[in-house]
Amino acid sequence: MGIAHPYVLRDALESTKPVLTAWSSVPDTGFVSTVARQPFDCVTLDMQHGGHDERSVYDGVDAVVALHKSCVVRIPVGRFDMASRALDFGADAVIAPMVNSVDDAKAFAAAVKYPPVGGRSWGPSRALSIRGLEGGDAHLHNANRATVSFAMIETREAMTALDDILAVDGIDGVFVGPADFSIAWSNGESVDPRRDDMMDTIAEIAQRATAVGKYAGIFAVVPSDAPKFHAMGYGLIAIGFDTAVVAAGARAVLSAANGS
Ligand code: 3PY
Ligand code: MG
């Protein structure tokens, strides 16, 4: 057995400090490593809107875990088979977008949790290998707690079903997508993830999740919103969208070079 890279995301979510995750959209393992070397707590590989595919997730999880960072995978809509595979590849957590009903939540939970909670099929050999962990019963009994599932709340249907989604055994937390939420909020009029009149409801989602012992996560389009979201009860906050970070860095170096 080589060096152990235990699952630490759940413990980090239990602490009082927010877990700040980079958001990786570029499906290149070298670039994922570069992102993971920056002082983020965690890297999220995005298969929904980002370019990540099964191959880049397979390699990317390894690259992130090897640097002692937590790795989260956002799967495409409804791809609960991929949720199991992301965990088989060694991810700490999976975010499932557009979980709009209890049935969606149950299907997601079934894919990410071993019996008796769910129906996940056994086969974590890649996860065990990259993490240097023992398999067998020890892992079977630990995996449901060690890995974390987040159901995205980003529509009116999801908001209506929130308490029932939170009550599903095997759903560890919810994750707000404020862009889609704003489209639903405005009945398709506009996309504005920071709209003021939505913030009380966004705070209520975290409050309702944490009140029943579940985690709350959110995507912060503007990183300086992170303390506000943490004060609302959000423990996992996505801040570092990879291409936006590169663009901001480019602007900063050019402005320094231009003396402005
Ligand atoms: C949203 O804001 O809708 C998201 O899914 C964040 O990535
Ligand atoms: Mg979304």
Q: From the CA of 154, give the closest atom in ligand 1.
A: 3
Test site for ligand 1: of 186, 219, 229, 239, most ligand atoms within 8 A of the Cβ = 219
Q: What is the mean pLDDT of residues 10-36?
A: 98
CB within 8 A of 10, min separation 6: which ones? 92, 145, 146, 147, 148, 172
Q: What percent of the chain has pLDDT over 70?
A: 99
Q: Is the full-model pTM beyond 0.75?
A: yes
Test site for ligand 1: of 47, 99, 180, most ligand atoms within 8 A of the Cβ = 180
- Please name which ligand lies nearest the alpha carbon of 220: 1
Residue 2: the pLDDT is 63
The radius of gyration computed from the CA coordinates of the chain, to the nearest angstrom, equals 18
Q: What is the mean pLDDT of residues 76-87?
A: 98
Gap from CA of 178 to ligand 2 centroid (Å): 7
Tokens at residue 45, please?
Answer: 């590989």
Gap from CA of 20 to ligand 2 centroid (Å): 18
For 32-59, give one letter per residue: b (16+ CB within 10 A) or e. Answer: bbebbeeebbbbbbbbbebebeeebbbb
Neighbour count for residue 29 (Cβ, 10 Å): 17
Residue 138: the pLDDT is 94
Whether 79 has a pLDDT exceeding 80, the answer reads yes
Whether 236 has a pLDDT exceeding 80, the answer reads yes
Tokens at residue 5, please?
Answer: 């890279």
- pLDDT tens string 134-186: 999 999 999 999 999 999 999 999 999 999 999 999 999 999 999 999 999 99
Gap from CA of 124 to ligand 1 centroid (Å): 29
